[in-house]
Every structure is written in C-alpha cells, then in structure tokens.
Structure 1
Amino acid sequence: MPRMSIVIPVYNAERYLRACLASVLGQTMRDLEVICVDDGSTDNSPRILDEYATRDARVSVIHQENAGAGAARNAGMDRATGDVLLCVDADDTIAPDACEVVTDSFARAGCEVMCFGFSCEPADRTPAAIANRLRPRDALIEGFHPEVLFTEKVRPFSWRCALSREFCERVGARYDETLTLGDDQYFLFYVYPRARRILLCSRQLYAYRMTDASMMHAASANGASLSHKLSRHRDAVAAILSDWKSSGWRDVCAERMLDWDVDLVLLDASALPEAEQTKFWGDYLGLLTDYFGEERLRGARGATGAVLRDVRGRLSGSRAGACVRKGTVAAFYLRQRGLANCVRRVVRSRF
C-alpha cells in the first residue's frame, strides 16, 4: 500500500499535462500512486496519459465518458489505496517536496484533513478575490470546529486539502457529481465539519496556473452566462444546506453561513437586469428561508440584514429599482472583505 495517492482529473489538458505529471512523478517522496482519470478528452490527453503509464508503474489511467470534474475525482478516489489522498488539477503543479511534507505531517500530527498554502502562476495574475487566502496559519485544530470554514483560509479550492483515506471512507467524502460549479465548495463544507483533527500548514505546496479559463472563473461573467453562473451557485448552496440540515447543523455557525450564502451571489446578482434580479432573489430567498427559517432571516443583523431587507422590499413591491441598492452592496463588501481588499479589487477591475 503506497503512502499517498494522487488523483488527477483530466479533460483536454494536453497543453499543461506533461508539466503536471513531471511535478508529481518527480517528488522527493516516491512511495505514491498516481491515478489519472481521462474524463472523455478529445485532444491528445489520453495518449499522453497512456504514454506515462507505460513508462512509470506508479501511474494508472482510467478512461471514462465525459461526466465532469467531480465524477472524475470520485472515480480516482474510489481506486485509491494510499494512506493519504490528494487531488491535483491537470494544468497545475505541486512543489517537489509536497508529498513528503504532507505524508510526514499526517504521520506526525495524526490529522484527518490537512490544508496547505498555494501560489498563483504567474503571481501577477493572482485574482484579488483570493489574494489574501493563499496561506493559512500554522495550527492543529482538534474537535468539532466547522467554523474553520469561515475563520480560516481553507477555501475555496479542494486541491489544497489532503485527506486520510480512512477518514474519507468513514464519512463518505465524495464530490457531488450533479454540480458543475461550486463542487469544491460543497466538498469542503462536507469534509471540515466531520474532521476531528485538522492541520493547517502555511507552506505553499501547490501552484495554481492562471489560464484563461481560471481567470474567467475568478472574474464575474455577464449576460446569459451570468444567469447560468448564478444558477449553478444556487445549486451548490442548495446542496450544502441540504447536507448541513440533514446532519442537524442548522444552528451551527448560522450567522456566518448566511453571510457566506449572500456573499457568494450578491455581486453577480446585482449585475443582472432588474427583471432577472427579482426572479433570482425570489428563488434564492425561498431557499434561504427553508434552511434558516423566516424568523432568523428577518432578524439578520448588520450588512447581511440590510441586503435581505432590500430584497424583501423590492419583492413586495414597496419600491422599484434594483433588488439590492448600490449603497447596500458597497456596505456589505466593505464589512465582509475590508476596505483594503475592496480597493484592490477596484484597481484590478474585478470588484
């Protein structure tokens, strides 16, 4: 049994795939298996994967019909036999000693989940939205602490999270294959509340390549694509809230969860045409009411409460215009992200 399993979901990644595989296979800790899942690629990725599998016995390849990144990661995790699991995207790379640091950390700390730092490549293309989330602090957190999702720099990407295979099997940690956006968030919201020992590591062990697709994902969309993006984010929030509700966690971090639910969609929803705003917020408010309850939503405080009051006022017909007024949006993000981060996003034209 290898010390570590690395799962690489691959879809049309021929441009960067060799660099990814070189970084994984060149690790200082060689006791690992590399499970590559070709998710129905139409470029040369399948040939490249098969080539590496013939050259290195540690590499195995799964070829499947296109089913999405979540399904590809699940397929690889199902095949994994290592003590520790890590997913690496096919256009990214990891530090030469990443596997050594991770496996040694698991052995030393006895953790179930480990979150480490990452960098963006090239650094000058780091999106403002994640610039302050690159490195968590160094800490060992024990017990039931779901608040780490909101108080620590552990999101939004699941590839910065290594997990004990035994833990994954025990709690049934899997990606929601129905989600096409926000599947990382769902996975992290599933994993962290169930972990009883979490290790945070400030070392930047992962390099997130800022391709055109990455930059488009980090920035707001527009037009029809914006409505589609919001719909997919709504689906991710629904999946997360459904899991927490069924787990009996509705009263756990409720205020922070509500802040996050609003933060995820507010900026994009405010960019919709006014008619589409009312449609979106009518549905989204219903989703939030089902989870939090009408009384808790009406009692929401601060900037989040102001957003929800604006939405209810517009939906009730008591006023016209945007569902959330510009001043309310600005006040919300000043509270959530701070003045410095908001100014940084304005300068980079991403706010």
Structure 2
Amino acid sequence: MGEVSCPKATIVVPVYNSARSIQRCVDSLLAQSERSIQVVCVNDGSTDDSLNVLRRIAQADDRVLVIDQENAGVSCARNAGIDAAEGETVFFVDADDYIDAQTIERVLHAMESADAEAAVFGGVCEPADAAPKRVQQLMSPKAGIFGARDPQLLFHSNAQPYACRAAFSRELLNREGIRFAPGLALGEDVVFQFAAYALARKTVVMPDKFYHYVMESESATHEFNSVEARAKKLDAHMRMLEEVLEDWAAYGLLDLCPGELITWFLDLIVFDLARLDADDFHRVAARVNMDLTTFLGTEWADMPAKGAVRRVAHKLVTATSGVTMADATLFYLSTRGLKACLERFI
C-alpha cells in the first residue's frame, strides 16, 4: 500500500455514470511509476454502479479516497477534489480517460527542474479518427518555459483547453483561490487555465503525449459538441468569456493582453456569428458589446492587432449588418493562415 500522509501528487477524478470506464482510469493511476500519490475520486451523483466500483477500488488500495456528493456538475466535483487534495501537485483525469505509467513522475521532474508552479503536456485521442484535426493540434503543445502573465503561453502554445493534460501546484491554487467555475456547460477548464497560467510564477510546457483522451459519445464535451444547438453553444461561449473577464478583473489582469483576449474569443464564435439570422445576431452582438465595454472600455473593438479581427469586432459594436461568411473566412486567414482555413472547409 502507498503512503498517503505526504503524497507528491494528487490526481482528481470526477465521476458521473462511469462504471464501465472508471476501473481502467484508476488502474492507470495506481500503476504510476511515482508511487507517492493520492487519487481522489469524486462521485458526482452517479445513478449507475460507479460508486460501488469506486468503493471496491478504495478498499484494495489506501491511496484512493472516494468522495460521494449529490450531482452538482464537473466543476464542483473537481473543486471538491482540490479541497481534499494532500499532494503537493494536483492533476486532473476524467473518468473516461487514462494516462501513461510515467506521467506523474516525468511531469513532477519537469516542474522541479524548471522551478515551475504549473505544467502542460500533450495527449492523444482514441480512436484517432474520431478527433477533428483542430482537437489533435490542441493536444500537441509546443515545448517551452514561460513566466507569469505571458500571452504566448495563454494563446499560442496549445496549452489550453483541456485541464486534464495539465498539473498545478496546490500552493498556487490555494494562494490565488483558483477553482473551477460551477455551472458552465462548456469551457470550465479554459476559465481555470486562464487564471492559473497567468498567475503561476512559471509554467513548463511538455510536448510529450501522456494523456489518452477517449472520445466517448456519453462524455459531456462530446455530447455538447455533437447535438446542442448553435444558439446554446454561443451562450456557453459567452458565459465562458464573462467568467474569464470577471476573473481577470479580480486578479488585475485586464491590461495584460486585451487585444489577444478579444481575438481568441472571436475566433471561437466567428463562424457561428456568420450563420445567425438578423434578430439573433443583434441579440448576441449586444451582449458581446456590453460585456467587453464593461470590462475593457468603449474602444475594445480597436484593440485587436489584425484588421480582419477589428472588422468583425466593429460589426458587433454597430450591429447594423451581420458578420458574413466572407468576414469569417478572412478572420481565419488572418489569424490561423491558409492551411487552417482550407481544413475548415475541406
């Protein structure tokens, strides 16, 4: 049995109706070459046999702690795990997924060598052909070491989204009060990472693909992306932006890189904007303009560096004409290049 009094790492696993996959997930954690770990499994009101499976696992290995709570969503489950964490470094693994046996050892070594408070690593999607190219790209971070408040880490290193392929000093999370935002249907990990990466004194990015992201239709992210209506997706992205803006206001980060923040957000929604009818466009434009004006000022549409981005931004301010598919295409050409733009349409 492993020692849990002073573990080097805590791995938080939110569990909801994952009886079929949780054994494989936890087995991959207990098989880590780094034995000094704590595994916190938070059963989030599962209605299947997940809780019984977890209890059997915990009886067999005292490094596993099971928390049982009423269903409150993945953010609350992860927060409960953070609050119960005893390890110096906190990792997150979803119940559908698993990690390579050397993951914890190698990430901890990289963090110690770089004197870092956060780490990002890569992952693979299973099955590989189920993942869009963009997801595969995002799971392939670019190696580097970054200081606090570095826009390159936030926007250009494939370091977000997916909090499950990142690790954070527990001292950082508690010192800055960083937790997941409850109630978000999409992007809770992005909000968390935007705070943690900006506030960590140093972050090490590893290209190693340790994480295995299993593309199950039952998982919250995949189900949302495949069946939810465009309007609901836009609303979820808006709520994510609002959480980021509120966090950055609280942490004094709004002057860090507002132009890049605006560009990043518009990149998420520009093609959905181009498909809205006039009434829906006016509604979304009013909300975007109100939020960004409140936090960044009335000149927010002039802050992005690229003209194609500013064009879309000004259409949201004036709301006299909608964003066209040509606008969206020029936006992509400007921010991602020709190859990414062609991949979007071919």
Question: TM class by shorter-chain length?
Answer: over 0.9
Cα distance, 1:125–1:187 mapped onto 2, change above 3 Å:
same
1:84-139: CA deviation from partner (whole Å, max 9, x where unpaired)? 11010000110111111122222322210000111111112222222222222322
Deviation at 1:194, TM superposition (A): 0.4
Q: Distance in 1 between matches of 2:323 and 2:9?
A: 48
137-146 vs 91-100, which moves further: 137-146
SS in 2 for 1:9: strand
Q: Name the stretch that deviates more: 336-345 or 14-23.
A: 336-345
**Does residue 1:50 correspond to 2:55, yes or no?**
yes
Does structure 2 retain, via aligned residues, the 8 Å contact 1:37–1:76? yes
Instruction: Quote how far apart the aligned CAs of 1:286 are.
Output: 1.3
2:273 is matched with 269
The superposition leaves residues 205-225 of structure 1 with CA deviations (integer Å, 9 ceiling, x where unpaired) of 101111124544455x56xx3
Task: Check conservation: 1:139, 1:201, Cα contact below 8 A.
Answer: yes
Q: Tell whether the 8 Å contact from 1:39 to 1:72 is kept in structure 2 after alignment.
A: yes
| Contact 2:292–2:300, Cα closer than 8 Å, also in 1 | no
- Measured in 2, the distance between the counterparts of 1:71 and 1:299 equals 35
Residues 258, 303 of structure 2: 8 Å contact kept? no
Does the alignment pair 1:328 with 2:332?
no
Match for 2:252 among 248, 252, 258? 248
Counterpart-to-counterpart distance in 1, 2:200 and 2:19: 36
Q: How does 1:1-351 map to 2 (within 5 A)?
A: 1-212=6-217, 213=219, 214-218=221-225, 225-298=229-302, 300=304, 301-313=306-318, 315-316=319-320, 319=321, 323-347=322-346
How many aligned residue pairs are there?
A: 338
Distance 1:238 1:215 in 2: 23
RMSD: 1.8
CA distance 1:106–1:92, shift in 2 (3 Å): same
Structure 2 unaligned runs (5+)?
1-5
Percent identical? 34
User: Which secondary structure does the structure 1 equivalent of 2:137 belong to?
Assistant: coil
Given that residues 138 and 202 in structure 1 are in contact (C-alpha distance below 8 angstroms), is that contact kept between their aligned partners in structure 2?
yes
Is this contact kept in 1: 2:148–2:198, CA < 8 A? no
Q: Is the 8 A contact 1:128 1:341 kept in 2?
A: no
| Aligned mates of 2:316, 2:172 — CA distance in 1 | 41
TM-score calculated relative to the size of structure 1: 0.91
Deviation per residue, 1:235-277 (Å, 9 max, x gap): 1101101121233322211111110121122222333333222
C-alpha displacement of 1:143: 4.4
**Which runs of 5 or more structure 1 residues have no equivalent in the other structure?**
none
Contact map agreement 2:259 2:303 (CA 8 A) in 1: no
- Structure 2 CA distance for aligned equivalents of residues 297 and 272 of structure 1: 20
What is the CA–CA distance in structure 1 between the aligned matches of 2:52 and 2:138, rounded to whole Å? Answer: 36
Q: Distance between the aligned counterparts of 2:23 and 2:303, measured in 1? A: 53
User: Are the equivalent residues in 2 in contact too, given 1:127–1:215 (CA < 8 A)?
Assistant: no
Q: CA deviation at 1:26?
A: 1.3
> 1:43, CA displacement in angstroms?
0.9
2:329·2:341 contact (CA, 8 Å) conserved in 1? no
SS of match in other structure, 1:173: coil
**C-alpha displacement at 1:51, in angstroms?**
1.1
Q: Does the CA-based 8 Å contact 2:288-2:316 persist in structure 1?
A: no
CA offsets, 1:7-27, max 9 Å, x none? 000011122211111111111
Counterpart AA for 2:165? R
Report the alpha carbon displacement of residue 58 of structure 1 after superposing the two structures with TM. 0.8
Match in the other structure for 2:3: none
Deviation of the 1:76 alpha carbon: 0.5
Q: Give TM-score, length-normalised by structure 2.
A: 0.92
